[in-house]
Amino acid sequence: MAKTETTPKRKPAARMPKALTTAVAAALDRKASDVVVLDLRKADGFTDYFLLCTGSSTRQIRAIADAVEETLRKELGEKPAFKEGVQKSEWVLLDYFNFVVHVFSRDCRSFYGLERLWGNAIRHEFSDEEPASRQARS
């Protein structure tokens, strides 16, 4: 049983869209913590992926969101269709249609618990120790 659980969770990482892995790398460059991608393709979500990450202050939350937005615009010509929460910077949301970036404060992320709400999604965690394109793990 463990064999079937490990194999499917590693394969989607290779198929993650370039824009998503670029967004992960941009968040990690700004020292985002608890970086997680939820693969919602089989979870009946309204988007394919959620990128969740945490900033330690409102200034860092804004910097993470700005870095993701700027990097995707410069490198791939991608702009968010919708952007929300920038003023308060406790939960910034950037909607790129096939994935949504959520940059949270620690308290806000804990309160809303998107990982719990989408518990049936495949989860990939990232750290700043290796490139985002190679590090998806369960």
- What CATH number is attached to the domain comprising 85? 3.30.460.10
Cα 118 to chain center, whole Å?
A: 13
Q: Is residue 13 part of a domain?
A: no
CA-CA distance, 130 to 13, in Å (whole number)? 14
Amino acid 130: pLDDT = 52
Q: Is residue 99 part of a domain?
A: yes
Query: Which residue has 């869209």 as its token pair?
Result: 17
Residue span of the structural domain in which 24 resides: 18-127
Give the CA angle between residues 37, 40, 46 to the nearest 5°: 120
Amino acid 62: pLDDT = 95
| Mean pLDDT along residues 111-124 | 87
| Mean pLDDT along residues 10-22 | 73
Structure tokens at 115: 């990982």
Q: How many domains does the chain have?
A: 1
Quick: pLDDT tens for 30-83. 999 999 999 998 877 789 999 999 999 999 999 999 999 999 999 999 999 999
Q: Is residue 6 part of a domain?
A: no
CB 95, CB 81: distance < 8 Å: yes
